[in-house]
Amino acid sequence: MSFSIRYNNKKPAIAWRGEDTPMNMVSTLPPSAPPSGGVQAKGGFQPGYILAWAFCLLFYFLQYSVRSAPSVMMDELTATMGLTTAGLGSLLGLYYYTYSACSLISGASMDRWGAKLAIPVGTLVLAIGIAMFGAGPVWMAELGRLLQGAGAAFAFVGAVYLASHGFPARYLATAIGVTQCVGMLGGAMGQSTVAWLIHGIVTWRSFWVYAGVATAIVAVAIFLGTPRPEKSASGGQGSMLAPYRIVLGNPQSWLCGLCSGLLFLPTTVGSMTWGVSFMTHGWHMSYHEAVSRAAMVPIGWVFGCPILGYLADHLGRRKPVLFGGIVAMLLSSAAIIYPPPGFFPPYILAFILGFASGAAMIPYSVIKEVNPDSVKGSATGAINFLVFVMSAVASPLFGWFLQRLAGAGGLTETVFREGFSVGVAGIVLAGVVALFLRETGAAVRAG
């Protein structure tokens, strides 16, 4: 998702383009800039769209929760479904295949059919996928995980679409910041609260069924609460696909995707998938303490993403903040993995890792600024696609790698330490890639 300010008779108007996006969404275009596709926000508050946005926040909260929830039931999934470590990694990684693919089409579907249809359909697809994951055998869980990713791709895009219609321009960045924070809170709750639920309240299978029902209720609420569009915007198939040829033909776009994708992996694959297993099997920590510590990573994201984005805007430079986040991620990751347990105070390092991981969103701003104004929305969709393709590939590969390291033995501290060293190397590689990114901050453009 991205926004650009367009000038019609010297009056600014926000133009919406639909893909997943970072915190810093608003960029000013000169009066001569070519108009970009999308829907213009109206002046003043629009209560109907604000109500629909609030319902869509629940959608975004739930999709992040179910993305991270499997990390607190790894033993149950392995035992019940008879999966190896590599097989479990492959199962969970299916989410990212459909998420990455649908991130390219979610915004276009809202432009074509409107939020009242597109967002509830995405929510309902997520609900079906959630229920299927816990309702049957392995093949049903696999199909459910695919549906979860497909439906989840509409959550953030839909929330920002509705916010762009509901809030005046001066409040739009705040609404987007609230949206991202709610999502990351969902990620934290998907670990801490779900762990409590499945160990004393409901079984792990029942959790998925109940969560699916709750998500279906949210789908109905979004459909009933979203105003009907005055008119539907539509374009030919070629008009939707042509911008991607421009974006992907720019080498800087690929560098942005590679840098951001590498910085996402320590949280999406490391903490949110294998973090609890690392602490319970490797450190022999109690289950509940491991869940609490792992949940600090997405909580750190809640604060780090908007704050680092604000710093990049305030300084007028992207790369110093990006490199600062990379260094903090590198140091905190190394401090978590290599010293013995308890060497550093608990919880703090996980929070720092999550906070610094907010730097992964900065290349989302860079890719919009290194591409023409007319394809900024597609640029954000392209980087989202590249980032989650990397997560989709890395998740099963990491599970296979851990299994190879373990051999005939179990998942020990040494196995996890060697496995997570790949993530540390990825952070270093992200720093190398960032060296080749153009500086696109306002201070450089003004100079």
Extents of the domains making up the chain = 2-446
* CA 339 – CA 79 distance, rounded (Å): 31
Q: How is residue 166 written in tokens?
A: 């509901």
Strand partners, 368: none
pLDDT score for 234: 47
The one-digit pLDDT tens for each residue of the chain (447 residues) are 444 444 444 433 434 433 344 333 333 333 333 333 344 445 578 888 899 999 999 999 999 999 888 888 888 888 888 888 778 888 888 898 898 888 777 767 776 777 899 899 999 999 999 999 988 788 999 999 999 999 998 998 788 778 878 887 556 556 766 777 888 888 888 878 888 888 889 999 999 999 999 999 999 999 999 998 765 444 445 566 677 788 889 999 999 999 999 999 988 888 877 888 888 888 888 888 888 888 888 889 889 888 888 888 788 888 999 999 999 999 999 999 899 887 888 789 999 999 999 888 888 778 878 888 767 656 766 787 888 889 878 888 888 898 888 887 788 888 888 989 999 999 999 999 999 999 987 767 665
For strand 26-28 and strand 11-17, is the pairing parallel, antiparallel, or unpaired?
unpaired
* CA 361 – CA 263 distance, rounded (Å): 9
The pTM of this model reads 0.69
pLDDT score for 134: 87
Strand partners, 14: 5
pLDDT score for 41: 47
Residue 246 class from Cβ within 10 Å (0-12 exposed, 13-18 middle, 19+ buried)? middle
Phi, psi of 17 (to 5 degrees): -130, 140
2-446 folds as Growth Hormone; Chain: A; (1.20.1250)
